[in-house]
Structure 1
Amino acid sequence: MDRSVLTQPTRPSRRLLSLTALFALVCAVLLTLTTAPARAAEAPAEPAAEPTRIMALGDSITGSPGCWRALLWQDLDTAGYADNVDFVGSRSPDGCGFPFDGEHEGHGGILTTGIVRDNQLPGWLASADPDVVMMTLGTNDVWSAVPTTTLLDAYSTLVGQMRDANPDVRVLVAQILPMTPAGCAECYDRVVDLNAAIPDWAAGLSTPESPLTVVDLWTGFDTATDTGDGVHPNEAGWRKMADAWYPALTGVLDDLPTAD
């Protein structure tokens, strides 16, 4: 027997080399697939945009229970805004027959001039930190025969405090509801005078950084059918209020700068 045949090393076939290379390639691909998700999990998530914080500021027409706010929130939810807004304030939601985002700053019996006198707004603003304020104030001042000029001065003080807390705050100011309460025959005309003065006052105070928007709650509101006492809205009145606030508020929301 020829021993050279027995001792000669065996060379691997080209077929075997090809299979080995293919196996190595498959292992490399599997290793990449199993490690990629781990790297993806380590990547920082995109920060979520903060919701727009909205404070409803007013008296018993805003609170107690102020279910126009509930209807307004329901309308915002239906239109797809609700996930991007947060109603804020120190007052808890009121019972209006269905769940809604109901925190607010509506204080029954309060006067605009009283808020200024007692310096109450800065504390409320510090706690709620609103981006938008919906202000419905003046009913109790009118009922107390506070002159229109005095009331507008109080409005100006409140807007200044809002801007001290947030220079870019958007302020929506209501031309308030008509009033025909028993024992105040002059109230109706006082409201007419106040509402007539609000647009010029707002135009003089509005700025590009912090615009003031006037919201007409007066037009189409009838104290005989939309209130129970000539002052406080009933269910029909709440619906009219929500319908008046909705285009004004969504117009502001649509105009707010979006996060990068």
Structure 2
Amino acid sequence: MATPTQARRHPTVAFYGDSIVTGWRGTSSPRARWSSLVSDDLGWREVNLALDGMGYFRRRGPRGADGERQPSATDTTLLDALVRLEPDAVVVCLSANDIRFLPDRADEVRAAIDRDHRRLAEDLPGRPVLVTTYFPTRELSDRAAQMRAWITDAAARWGHTHVAGFGTATADDPHLLCDDGVHPNDAGHRALADAILPACAALVGGDRSMRRPAGNGQADVPTRSEAPVRVATPS
């Protein structure tokens, strides 16, 4: 009679984001994307709730006459699906696709950012939420810097943890990006996974249950040179 193995719980983690989360364009296979690499490394069950081109505001509404999803600061269709899953934790990666709406629709973009973070905090109480942004360069435009500031502010206000080192893990390195100079290739996705892995690993308790990171909106993440830094979201 075979000796039964000890049961091991595999937490369900929802990855919520844009083409950086789907792995569009630059990956050789779905399992090469950073969210899958992290899940495989930590024994998580990955739920990938991501859409190419999506932002907090962009492509969040119903389809228009042109067949494309419309921007929306009020539609909660995707959030409803995420909440119904009741994941053990959520990792959010959204930012760059909303830059095009600034400054003309800045109020709507900021409202959409708050909508997502408020809903995650209120409808998934006690579930840890990691928040990231992604930009392919370290030199951000004024609009990109504003987007990042709004996202980190919302994360702090709603008790979520912002992982800053992720956002520049592939920045300005052509060996980590595919031919468009924006989306990471397989090596770039490995770099993104390595950048966020310590923060993700901190969510896993000894019994494989999820826990909130220590501190208030802070995460210890390595830089690409592996020197540890303390990252805090602004108040």
Please, what TM-score do these two structures have when normalized by structure 1?
A: 0.58
In structure 1, how many angstroms separate the alpha carbons of the residues matched to 2:156 and 2:121?
Answer: 16
The correspondence of residues 1-260 of structure 1 with structure 2, limited to 5 A, is 50-63=9-22, 64=24, 65=30, 67-74=33-40, 76=41, 81-82=42-43, 85-88=44-47, 104-113=48-57, 114-115=59-60, 116-145=73-102, 150-178=108-136, 188-206=141-159, 212-216=160-164, 217-225=166-174, 226-228=176-178, 229-254=180-205, 256=210
Distance 1:148 1:174, change over 3 A: farther
User: Shift of residue 256 of structure 1?
Assistant: 3.3
Indicate the structure with greater helix content.
1
In structure 1, how many angstroms separate the alpha carbons of the residues matched to 2:10 and 2:177?
Answer: 33
User: Shift of residue 253 of structure 1?
Assistant: 2.0
SS at match of 1:62: helix
Task: Give structure 1 stretches of 5+ with no counterpart.
Answer: 1-47, 89-103, 181-185, 207-211
In structure 2, how many angstroms separate the alpha carbons of the residues matched to 1:232 and 1:143?
Answer: 17
SS at match of 1:118: coil
Deviations for 1:157-183, whole angstroms, at most 9, x for unmatched residues? 112222343212211110322359xxx
Q: Residues 117 and 154 of structure 2 are in contact (CA less than 8 Å); yes or no, is this contact kept in structure 1? A: no
Report the identity percentage. Answer: 28
Q: Residues 59 and 136 of structure 1 are in contact (CA less than 8 Å); yes or no, is this contact kept in structure 2? A: yes
In structure 2, how many angstroms separate the alpha carbons of the residues matched to 1:247 and 1:148?
Answer: 33
* Partner residue in 2 for 1:183: none
Q: Residues 175 and 218 of structure 1 are in contact (CA less than 8 Å); yes or no, is this contact kept in structure 2? A: yes
User: Shift of residue 121 of structure 1?
Assistant: 2.6
In structure 1, how many angstroms separate the alpha carbons of the residues matched to 2:99 and 2:149?
Answer: 14
* Partner residue in 2 for 1:31: none
Q: Which amino acid aligns with 2:127?
A: V
Distance 1:154 1:86, change over 3 A: same
Q: Which amino acid aligns with 1:108?
A: D
Q: Residues 118 and 158 of structure 2 are in contact (CA less than 8 Å); yes or no, is this contact kept in structure 1? A: no
Deviations for 1:52-75, whole angstroms, at most 9, x for unmatched residues? 22000001110035711232234x
Which deviates further from its counterpart, 223-232 or 192-201?
192-201
In structure 2, how many angstroms separate the alpha carbons of the residues matched to 1:144 and 1:231?
Answer: 19
Q: Residues 55 and 130 of structure 1 are in contact (CA less than 8 Å); yes or no, is this contact kept in structure 2? A: yes
Q: Which amino acid aligns with 1:159?
A: H
Task: Give structure 2 stretches of 5+ with no counterpart.
Answer: 1-6, 25-29, 61-72, 212-235
Q: CA RMSD in A?
A: 3.0
Deviations for 1:191-244, whole angstroms, at most 9, x for unmatched residues? 2333244434322221xxxxx111122334324513221321112321221011
* Partner residue in 1 for 2:218: none
User: How many pairs does the alignment contain?
Assistant: 179
User: Shift of residue 134 of structure 1?
Assistant: 0.5
Which protein is bigger by CA-based radius of gyration?
1
Q: Residues 134 and 172 of structure 1 are in contact (CA less than 8 Å); yes or no, is this contact kept in structure 2? A: yes
Please, what TM-score do these two structures have when normalized by structure 2?
A: 0.64
Q: Which amino acid aligns with 2:46?
A: F
Distance 1:199 1:126, change over 3 A: closer
Which deviates further from its counterpart, 222-231 or 147-156?
147-156
